[in-house]
Structure 1
Amino acid sequence: MPTFNTKTTSFLALAALTLLFTSLSSPGAAADGGVVPRRSVLGNETVLVLAEERTRRKDPLDDLNYYTGGWNISNEHYFASVLYTGSTLFLIASFWFVLFGIFLLLSCMYFCCCRQRSYGYSRVAYALSLILLTLFTVAAVVGSIVLYTGQGKFHDSTKDTLEYVLGQADSTVGNLKSFSSYLTSAKTVGVDQVFLPKDVLNNIDKVNTLVTSAADTLGSATQDNKDDIFNSLNTVGLILIIVAAVMLTLAFLGFLLSVSGLQFLVYILVIVGWILVALAFILCGVFLVLHNVLGDTCVAMSDWVGNPTAHTALDKVIPCVDKATAEEARSQSKEVTFQMVQLVNGIIANVSNRNLPPIAGPLSYNQSGPLVPLLCNPYNPDKSDRITCIPGEVGFTNATQVWKNYECQVVNSKCTTVGRLTPSMYDQMSGAVNVSYGLYHYGPFLTNLVDCTFVRDTFDAIHKEHCPDLRLYSRWVYIGLLMVSEAVMLSLVFWVVYARERRHRKYTKQADAEASAAQASYESKEP
């Protein structure tokens, strides 16, 4: 059980961290939903291929053949194929950096060497460059707004998902600790100096050790991962906000400087923008890769939930405890509950409900009146679930209220009024009922935990309730980031083009003015 909870928490942390970068289907990723997972034979067992259609991508480690192994974070071919989905954006960043660098170098050489040459001037080229520069600046503004808005909604959706996952983990820790406390209490519960058998007490120690260790491990892992997860979330949000703000400022500033004719400042800004655009495309590629990893994970979780008995790649991350181990833990819980009820009923039948003479010693305390009803045991002797109780028996939920009517007043440990339970006996029996009910109540929870039902329910809720919003808003982030990168990239080009056309226009007008002045001077000197 400790191993199960440690690895379960690690995977929940992995899923939560990956959810920071979810987005909709992207190049190289098939749409999810409605696909029956394929089963492949590995050795003597059948293995379910998770998210097979979605993960069918070209694998650069396999001569660009399609990867067919499904979601598997331990497979290098899976990571190579998903990394390949961002290669287009990485190549764009590389080509942009190299080609625009060459363009800047050639432009500088041309402007420096040809500064005194005459320039041609085209009104169409000048107007067109200004119009396109304005359009691309507006596109950069729109992209920044989309990016900023998307990251805000994406941040909130991701935070909700993380809080749900962490809440589930905290709830599990609380339930485990409550279950453990009931087990501890069971060791000390006794009625009229009668306690549980020694072998049952030994089993309590065995199960309690496992449960306590599991609770401590899960609680520690959750607390350790909690800060890291939220710090990562805040860091991603901050990076996206900075990118939106920097790109928006760059686009506005470049437009104003270009229109104002401050060429030297424009060239400096072009160099800065040249580097920032390359970094923006790289960030866009990284976001796309991380998006695909999580998109695959969401579909893999859905496939895993729908095939609870199949062997999958998730088994390496969450090796669910086998059925024998789960049944052992559940059996011990049933055994303690059964024995506790038997202990209480034994005292009721053999002591409280017997009209013993005074010479019977400590077993006789002047008990009288109606017989105390027995406690309904939820299990049969073979520990199978008991369907119905015998008429007259009381259940865990109302036993203490019913037994209160059979309590007598005592003096010197003897009943002085009608009743069959002394206050001390009533308190001891009430304690036994509380412990029994606690074990009975948390028994199914323990079984669900060790057989991975808890994790499956968590993954199912994430896939159905959280993934849709995360995908929608991450699409906004991706679109906004791509719009900003492309708009600023094209704006940089037209900063240079417009600056060139503006300079040509200036020199052309200056040359025309000088020519006109010379012509006027020449005409004024003619007789």
Structure 2
Amino acid sequence: MSNSKAFQLPLISLLLFTSVFTHNSSVFASNFVRNQTFTRPDPLRHFRLYKGGYDIRDKHYWASTAFTGIHGYAMAGIWMLFGLTFGSYLIVKTFNGGFHPFINHPSSYYLASFALIVIFTSIAIIFSSLILVANQSSLHRSKNLMDTILGGGTSMKQTIEAVMNGLIKIQTLLQPYDGEAYDLLNHITNQMRKETISIQNFVKEARNASNHAMKAVYIANLVFVTVNLVVLVGGCVVLFLHWHPGFIILIIVCWILTTVSWILTGFDFFFHIFAGDTCSAFEKFEQNQNPESNSIMSILSSCSNTSNSEKFMAQIGYTVHKYIAESNSEITTLAHKMVQPNEESDDSFVIERICDPFSTSPNYNYAPSDCPQDSIQIHDLPNILSTLTCEKHTPTDICKAQGRFFPESSYGKTMAYIQSIENLIATYPDLQSLAGCTPVKHAISDVALHQCEPFKTSVRFLWACIFTVSIDMMMLTSLLIVKACQDKGKYFSWCSIVPMRHPC
């Protein structure tokens, strides 16, 4: 147990593992799955097809995905252009005195047009109310999804910190006895400290950015719906009052709101496509966690591969297992040298062995419950070793008589290695979690299995509602124009539907 080389092997193995991990662990700023490719027009490349994967850092992915809402943007442009053209035409014709749209229609005609306006207004009010519900639901589910993913990042940071604290304890213990191991540990803890800062900064930035984005979508839909409901209710009042100037203002406002609703339709469709891409990435990773064929984040390329992480953990288990086996052998050798049992006492001379918490080859799994009941637990070794240590000023005969067979010259160094192994084993569950990216995988599994479908449903419902309102507002605005043309120059009593020949 006094030989420092017995501990250097597991230590170096641990350092190699953590250095490989931390080299690639700036996870959350990295790409998502790339094996899933899209073929979408990319406005930033003169509308050539974007054939990349789901990459939230790639501006071409965002541009091509945002372009999927072109139907909404195009309709908004066409509707606005048509409104400007039609409005200009009416203004010119009115000022030239050449516009005479007035025809005496039967009462049933006025009743039919009034009924259609009421129906389309009711539909617009109902679906605008549904947009409020869908908007609130999509915001809530978006926040939950982002909190889960960023929570996985925070958990990853905490796990790295736990491993780092364990290494710092080992570093402190070995400093007086093993300068090379101390320097290696100092290097890796500094690297891990930078990694935790990097993850912390990214989580903070991503949380702020996602909150701003979610609030922007939510506020845009909320403002539109609120204004639309106010205008629709106000339009009902104007309709019953037959106030013609107010009716013209209502048409202009409805035209603008219809344009805005088509813009939001395109934007919400883009949000719907993005939600589908995101959930598809999570679901594919959940189904196949082999980074060679499906790597959701570059962080997982170093630790999501089950076989790789098992190799790392088996190597650590093997080296600790080997160290404890060598320690047991050395203890037994020292005891026999010091105590020198005679033939009569050979059968009764038994040395209790240190508990090896790792199974044998090939896996070397961590299984502390498999230790024999009479074995020495590692955390008990310091107390036991102090009772077995022979002080250098004590005669050898007295030490033999008292069963103190361990030399004091090796006590300090051996204690340092024992406590280092103890700290390594205590840190092993965090190492295991780090090796398998457990916090991130749990977050992805939660999103893929429990949150994705409700999230996609709420976003799809939001888009469907705004799309319905957009079509309905087009029809309603057209009917209002027809109604304005019918009513111009005619007299109505308050709340009447059919015009009168003379004013009330």
TM-score if structure 1 supplies the norm length? 0.69
1:461 Cα shift? 3.0
Equivalent residue runs for 1:335-350 within 5 Å: none
Deviation digits for residues 418-468 of structure 1 (CA, Å, limit 9, x no counterpart): 9989xx99998995565132232222223213xxx7645543432221110
Equivalent residue runs for 1:461-472 within 5 Å: 461-472=446-457
Structure 1 portions without partners, runs of 5+:
16-46, 358-369, 515-527
CA distance in structure 1 between the aligned counterparts of 2:203 and 2:67, rounded to whole angstroms: 33
Which residue number in structure 1 is paired with residue 192 of structure 2?
A: 211
Question: Do the aligned partners of 1:281 and 1:482 also contact (CA within 8 Å) in 2?
Answer: yes
Equivalent residue runs for 1:131-210 within 5 Å: 131-189=115-173, 197-210=178-191
Classify the secondary structure of the residue corresponding to 1:378: coil
Equivalent residue runs for 1:345-360 within 5 Å: none
Deviation digits for residues 45-71 of structure 1 (CA, Å, limit 9, x no counterpart): xx9741x6xx46678899999877665
Match of 2:90 among 107, 117, 121: 107
CA distance in structure 1 between the aligned counterparts of 2:45 and 2:171, rounded to whole angstroms: 61
1:351 Cα shift? 8.5
Describe the shift of the 1:380–1:511 C-alpha distance in structure 2 as closer, same or farther (beyond 3 A). closer
In the alignment, does 2:84 pair up with 1:95? no
In the alignment, does 2:478 pair up with 1:493? yes
Question: Do the aligned partners of 1:144 and 1:484 also contact (CA within 8 Å) in 2?
Answer: yes
Match of 1:256 among 210, 217, 237: 237
Which residue number in structure 1 is paired with residue 267 of structure 2?
A: 286
1:253 Cα shift? 1.4
Question: Do the aligned partners of 1:170 and 1:222 also contact (CA within 8 Å) in 2?
Answer: yes
1:391 Cα shift? 3.1
Describe the shift of the 1:332–1:502 C-alpha distance in structure 2 as closer, same or farther (beyond 3 A). same
Classify the secondary structure of the residue corresponding to 2:301: coil
Classify the secondary structure of the residue corresponding to 1:215: helix
CA distance in structure 2 between the aligned counterparts of 1:228 and 1:72, rounded to whole angstroms: 16
Match of 2:112 among 120, 124, 128: 128
Deviation digits for residues 255-294 of structure 1 (CA, Å, limit 9, x no counterpart): 2212211221222232233223212211210221232133
Deviation digits for residues 153-208 of structure 1 (CA, Å, limit 9, x no counterpart): 11111111111112111111111001000001012237xxx976554444433433
Which residue number in structure 2 is paired with residue 10 of structure 1?
A: 29
CA distance in structure 1 between the aligned counterparts of 2:191 and 2:132, rounded to whole angstroms: 48
Describe the shift of the 1:230–1:374 C-alpha distance in structure 2 as closer, same or farther (beyond 3 A). same
1:237 Cα shift? 1.7
CA distance in structure 2 between the aligned counterparts of 1:111 and 1:507, rounded to whole angstroms: 22
Moved more, 116-125 or 247-256: 116-125
Classify the secondary structure of the residue corresponding to 1:232: helix
Question: Do the aligned partners of 2:321 and 2:356 also contact (CA within 8 Å) in 1?
Answer: no
Moved more, 237-246 or 304-313: 304-313
1:234 Cα shift? 2.4
Describe the shift of the 1:313–1:60 C-alpha distance in structure 2 as closer, same or farther (beyond 3 A). farther
Which residue number in structure 1 is paired with residue 432 of structure 2?
A: 444
Moved more, 217-226 or 68-77: 68-77
Describe the shift of the 1:234–1:316 C-alpha distance in structure 2 as closer, same or farther (beyond 3 A). closer
Q: What is the RMSD of the two structures over their aligned residues, measured on CA atoms?
A: 4.9
CA distance in structure 2 between the aligned counterparts of 1:457 and 1:227, rounded to whole angstroms: 23
Match of 1:435 among 410, 419, 423: 423
Question: Do the aligned partners of 2:103 and 2:486 also contact (CA within 8 Å) in 1?
Answer: no
Which residue number in structure 1 is paired with residue 14 of structure 2?
A: none
CA distance in structure 1 between the aligned counterparts of 2:382 and 2:101, rounded to whole angstroms: 110
CA distance in structure 2 between the aligned counterparts of 1:381 and 1:371, rounded to whole angstroms: 24
CA distance in structure 2 between the aligned counterparts of 1:472 and 1:315, rounded to whole angstroms: 23
CA distance in structure 1 between the aligned counterparts of 2:462 and 2:383, rounded to whole angstroms: 64
Moved more, 271-280 or 159-168: 271-280
Question: Do the aligned partners of 1:58 and 1:81 also contact (CA within 8 Å) in 2?
Answer: yes
Classify the secondary structure of the residue corresponding to 1:320: helix
> Aligned partner of 1:104: which letter?
G
> Aligned partner of 1:184: which letter?
I
Describe the shift of the 1:338–1:446 C-alpha distance in structure 2 as closer, same or farther (beyond 3 A). farther
Which residue number in structure 2 is paired with residue 246 of structure 1?
A: 227
Which residue number in structure 2 is paired with residue 23 of structure 1?
A: none
Which residue number in structure 1 is paired with residue 258 of structure 2?
A: 277
1:106 Cα shift? 3.2
> Aligned partner of 2:29: which letter?
S
CA distance in structure 1 between the aligned counterparts of 2:60 and 2:463, rounded to whole angstroms: 25
1:138 Cα shift? 0.7
Classify the secondary structure of the residue corresponding to 2:104: coil
Moved more, 98-107 or 453-462: 453-462
Describe the shift of the 1:432–1:257 C-alpha distance in structure 2 as closer, same or farther (beyond 3 A). same
Moved more, 264-273 or 137-146: 264-273
Classify the secondary structure of the residue corresponding to 1:5: coil
CA distance in structure 2 between the aligned counterparts of 1:337 and 1:253, rounded to whole angstroms: 78
Which residue number in structure 1 is paired with residue 469 of structure 2?
A: 484
Question: Do the aligned partners of 1:57 and 1:67 also contact (CA within 8 Å) in 2?
Answer: yes
1:487 Cα shift? 2.4
Classify the secondary structure of the residue corresponding to 1:209: helix
Which residue number in structure 1 is paired with residue 10 of structure 2?
A: none
1:75 Cα shift? 8.0
Which residue number in structure 2 is paired with residue 42 of structure 1?
A: none
CA distance in structure 2 between the aligned counterparts of 1:108 and 1:343, rounded to whole angstroms: 99
TM-score if structure 2 supplies the norm length? 0.71
Describe the shift of the 1:303–1:133 C-alpha distance in structure 2 as closer, same or farther (beyond 3 A). same
CA distance in structure 2 between the aligned counterparts of 1:510 and 1:290, rounded to whole angstroms: 47
> Aligned partner of 1:120: which letter?
N
1:381 Cα shift? 10
CA distance in structure 1 between the aligned counterparts of 2:364 and 2:100, rounded to whole angstroms: 100
CA distance in structure 2 between the aligned counterparts of 1:336 and 1:169, rounded to whole angstroms: 30
Which residue number in structure 2 is paired with residue 474 of structure 1?
A: 459
> Aligned partner of 1:442: which letter?
D
